[in-house]
């Protein structure tokens, strides 16, 4: 085989592998995008209705006891919760029955395993916006404490736009 032909064959194989990797990556991105919107527009299950505050928008943080990012999320909730308007509140849902993080009084903490399991998002930590009727209007992974700040801004903008 000539060197030029061999180089072309190798180049073709490398391009085919790159295309396959790109297709796989695109599929994973689409799966993540679908997972982000999982549950949006859905009424909370009956066992989760204790999460919402009637007549108020509820920002829900679903956290896990074995999650190092969750500590950053909880710290930011503690920092931002006192600044929330009266018609917006935080609820932290944890799978840890011995949850003992310091949070302001206006943050509800739910450690019921049934409630934690009923929040059907495929990632933890997760942030959700639940309207006053118990309908999930937004979900997102909480990859950092900054995600909490962005969620608070989004909820405030949602409230202003609905006035």
Q: Encode pLDDT of 19-68 as tens digits.
A: 999 988 888 887 766 655 556 667 777 777 778 777 888 889 999 888 88
In a domain, 134, yes or no: yes
Query: pTM for this one?
Result: 0.71
32 and 106 co-located in one domain: no
pLDDT at residue 119, rounded to an integer: 84
Q: Are residues 142 and 79 in the same domain?
A: yes
Average pLDDT, the chain: 83
Neighbours of 129 (CB within 10 A): 21
What is the model's pLDDT at position 14?
A: 94
φ/ψ of residue 63, rounded to 5: -120, 165
Nearest to 90 by CA among 73, 109, 71: 109
Residue 41 included in any domain: no
pLDDT of residue 9: 92
Domain residues for 1?
A: 1-36
The answer to whether the beta carbons of residues 57 and 159 sit under 8 Å apart is yes
pLDDT band at 10 (very low <50, low <70, confident <90, very high): very high
Same-domain pairing of 21 and 96: no
Q: How many structural domains are present in the chain? A: 2
Based on the domain organization, do 75 and 138 belong to the same domain?
yes
Write down the pLDDT at residue 163.
46
């Amino acid at each position: 085989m000539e060197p030029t032909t061999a180089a072309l064959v190798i180049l073709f194989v490398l391009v085919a592998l790159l295309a396959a990797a790109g297709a796989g990556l695109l599929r994973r991105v689409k799966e993540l995008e679908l997972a982000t919107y999982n549950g949006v527009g859905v009424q909370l299950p009956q066992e989760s209705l204790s999460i919402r505050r009637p007549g108020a928008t509820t920002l829900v943080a679903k956290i896990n006891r074995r999650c190092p990012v969750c500590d950053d999320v909880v710290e930011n909730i503690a920092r931002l919760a006192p600044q929330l308007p009266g018609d917006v509140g935080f609820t932290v849902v944890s799978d840890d029955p011995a949850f003992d993080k310091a949070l302001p009084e206006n943050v509800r903490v739910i450690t019921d395993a049934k409630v934690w399991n009923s929040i059907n998002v495929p990632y933890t930590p997760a942030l959700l916006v639940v309207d006053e009727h118990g309908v999930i209007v937004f979900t997102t992974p909480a990859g950092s404490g900054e995600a909490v700040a962005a969620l608070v801004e989004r909820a405030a903008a949602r409230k202003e736009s609905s006035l």
